[in-house]
Amino acid sequence: MRTRTVAATAVVVVLVALTGCTKQQTSFDGVARAACETRVGPAIVAWWRDQYGTTPWKVVDTRSTGVEQRSSGPSGVTVAAVTGESSVRREEHGTATEPVEWSCSAQTTADDPSTVSATIREITLG
C-alpha cells in the first residue's frame, strides 16, 4: 500500500511541475509562427545568394521551434519573437541539405489584429 501511495504522490508532483512550467500559447503565437515561416523561405534564398554567390535549389523543412511574446502594451501593439530551423538543398539532384537557423519578429495591432507583419532578423548556418 505504501508503494502505491509513494508512486501516486510522485506522479502528482511531476504533473504539477509540468503544468506549472508550461507556457500557455495564445492565438497570436500561431499567427506569428505562420507569418514568419511564410517569410523565411525567400529570405533564406536571398541570404544564401549573398553569402555564397549562388542560389540554392530549394528551402525545405521549415518549422518554428519557439515563440515568445515580447510585448503587448497600452499602445495595442503585440510583438512576438519567433525562432526556427530550415534546411537548404544546394542542388536539384541529390538529398544533401544544409541546416539553417533563423529568428523573426512578428507584430500586430489591436486596431487590425488580422494584419500581421513579420521581419526576419537573423539567418545562420545551423
pLDDT digit string, tens, across residues 29-84: 999 999 999 999 999 999 999 999 998 999 999 999 999 987 766 778 889 999 99
82 DSSP β-pair partners: 67, 104
Predicted pLDDT at 19: 32
Q: Give the mean pLDDT of the chain.
A: 80
Q: Average of pLDDT values for 23-27?
A: 66
From CA 104, how far away is CA 37, in angstroms rounded? 9
Listed range (17-31, 41-55, 90-104, 110-124) with the worst mean pLDDT: 17-31
